[in-house]
């Protein structure tokens, strides 16, 4: 009797181990240290304050995963590690890696109870009554690290989201919950006449100012403090919501969309950047896993284009189109 190939099962048995190797190497500052120069175990172990024998195992695992090279006992970063796993890189994902290790990895340990009860795991995992963001990003350092990590993640998608539709007819974009402004920057870079606004909480805008200030487009982008659920929205003919709607249940989304629709002029638009599920929910795998992630850590979920269309048309929008971008985030454009 011929049995099916077990490789998919064996791969998933190992999957969390690969993640933990990367998480731990980032947490130890390994890639940052090797950015300076290649080094061997004898130099790295005391510098990182770890056991030499154990570190050698971690280093060799990082070589096998493609993050390091090894020649005559010296380890060096590959281009991938240099770009995404060093904290000083402009494309760094280390803030999101550390958040995944500190927060998401632990939440996913309670996936079974989340499936049984259908609710997030803030209290079960961390003993927290409020949203995890309120607890884990209270210091400027933690907020900055997370925001920069999300900036690196955003850079992977924003240019393709900005190019998904013809936005040339709009004059001013206001990115609500715009974080470091990566989507606003991408839209303004593509359209020289468009002015941008990044609208977010004061503590987030401290990091936004740092990122936008380095851009040649800074003179066209305004930073405005505010809570999009409570404060007046800045005037614009195009609003953007990047990785916002998937955080919330339908009733909160409906409230936010109503505020946006009321503020928009006729012909104005709303650009949404989210992962789109296939109509039959058969994929993509990354979106399905992200929807489970939202179950664990928020009140939201990922949706199909039809579900977004229903929400947007329910708010009064008359034309809703979706585009799969091939990037981590897809795009939806709705017109008033």
For 254-295, the pLDDT digits (tens) are: 999 999 999 999 999 999 999 999 999 999 999 999 999 999
Q: What pLDDT is stored for residue 132 in this prediction?
A: 66
**Which residues 6+ apart lie within 8 Å of 329 measured at CB?**
157, 160, 161, 242, 243, 273, 274, 275
Count of beta carbons in the 10 Å neighbourhood of residue 263: 17
Count of beta carbons in the 10 Å neighbourhood of residue 113: 14
Count of beta carbons in the 10 Å neighbourhood of residue 19: 16
Per mean pLDDT, which range of 37-46, 56-65, 88-97, 308-317 is the poorest?
Answer: 88-97
Model confidence at 154, in pLDDT bands (50, 70, 90)?
Answer: confident
**Which residues 6+ apart lie within 8 Å of 74 measured at CB?**
38, 39, 40
Cα distances (angstroms) measured from residue 73 to each of 41, 45, 60, 70, 298: 8, 13, 10, 6, 45
Domains of the chain: 7-84 (1.10.10.10), 94-149 (no CATH), 154-335 (3.40.50.150)
What is the phi/psi pair of residue 223, to 5°? -105, 125
Q: Which residue has the higher pLDDT, 247 or 135?
A: 247
Q: Which residue has the higher pLDDT, 312 or 136?
A: 312
What end-to-end distance do the CA atoms of the chain give, in Å?
A: 61
Count of beta carbons in the 10 Å neighbourhood of residue 325: 19
In terms of C-beta density within 10 A (0-12 exposed, 13-18 middle, 19 or more buried), how is residue 1 classed? exposed
Distance CA(71)–CA(254), nearest Å, equals: 57
Q: What pLDDT is stored for residue 136 in this prediction?
A: 62
Region 96-118 average pLDDT = 94
| Per annotation, catalytic residue among 151, 182, 191, 246 | 246
Distance CA(52)–CA(245), nearest Å, equals: 46
Please tell me whether the peptide bond between 141 and the residue prior to it is cis, using omega within 30 degrees of 0.
no
CB 80 within 8 A of CB 43: no
Q: What pLDDT is stored for residue 134 in this prediction?
A: 65
Q: Which residue has the higher pLDDT, 2 or 316?
A: 316
Q: What pLDDT is stored for residue 153 in this prediction?
A: 84
Question: Is there a catalytic annotation at residue 246?
Answer: yes
Exposed e or buried b for every residue in 284-304, given b needs 16+ CB within 10 A? eeebbebbebbbbbbebbbbb
Q: What pLDDT is stored for residue 180 in this prediction?
A: 92
Q: What pLDDT is stored for residue 1 in this prediction?
A: 83
pLDDT, tens digit, 9 for 90 and up, residues 167-205:
999 999 999 999 999 999 999 999 999 999 999 999 889
In terms of C-beta density within 10 A (0-12 exposed, 13-18 middle, 19 or more buried), how is residue 68 classed? buried
Q: What pLDDT is stored for residue 117 in this prediction?
A: 97
Q: What pLDDT is stored for residue 135 in this prediction?
A: 61
Task: Round the average pLDDT of the chain to a whole number and report it.
Answer: 94
pLDDT, tens digit, 9 for 90 and up, residues 295-322:
999 999 999 999 999 999 999 999 999 9
Q: What pLDDT is stored for residue 254 in this prediction?
A: 97
């Amino acid at each position: 009797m011929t049995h099916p190939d077990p490789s998919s099962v064996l791969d998933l048995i190992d999957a969390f181990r690969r993640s933990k190797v990367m998480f731990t190497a980032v947490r130890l500052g390994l890639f940052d240290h090797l950015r300076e120069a290649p080094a061997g175990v004898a130099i790295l172990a005391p510098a990182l304050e770890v056991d030499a024998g154990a570190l050698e195992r971690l280093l060799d695992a990082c070589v096998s995963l493609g993050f390091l090279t090894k020649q005559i006992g010296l380890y060096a970063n590959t281009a991938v590690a240099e770009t995404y796993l060093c904290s000083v890189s402009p494309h760094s994902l280390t803030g999101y890696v550390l958040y995944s290790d500190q927060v998401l990895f632990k939440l996913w340990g309670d996936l079974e109870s989340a499936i049984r009860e259908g609710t997030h795991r803030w209290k079960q995992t961390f003993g927290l009554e409020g949203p995890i963001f309120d607890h884990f990003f209270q210091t400027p350092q933690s907020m900055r690290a997370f925001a920069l990590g999300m900036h690196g993640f955003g850079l992977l998608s924003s240019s393709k989201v900005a190019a998904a539709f013809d936005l040339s007819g709009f004059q001013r974009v206001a990115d609500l919950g715009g974080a470091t402004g990566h989507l606003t920057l991408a839209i303004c870079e593509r359209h020289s006449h468009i002015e941008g606004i990044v609208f977010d909480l004061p503590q987030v805008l401290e990091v936004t100012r740092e990122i936008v200030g380095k851009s040649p487009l800074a003179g066209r982008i305004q930073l405005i403090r505010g809570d999009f659920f409570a404060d007046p929205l800045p005037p614009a003919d195009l609003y953007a919501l990047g990785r916002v709607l998937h955080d919330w249940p339908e009733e909160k989304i409906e409230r936010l969309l109503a505020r946006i629709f009321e503020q928009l002029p006729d012909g104005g638009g709303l650009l949404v950047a989210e992962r789109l599920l296939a109509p039959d929910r058969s994929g993509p795998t990354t979106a399905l896993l992200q929807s489970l992630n939202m179950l664990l850590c928020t009140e939201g979920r990922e949706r199909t284009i039809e579900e977004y269309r229903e929400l947007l048309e329910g708010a009064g929008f008359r034309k809703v189109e979706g585009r799969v971008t091939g990037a981590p985030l897809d795009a939806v454009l709705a017109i008033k």
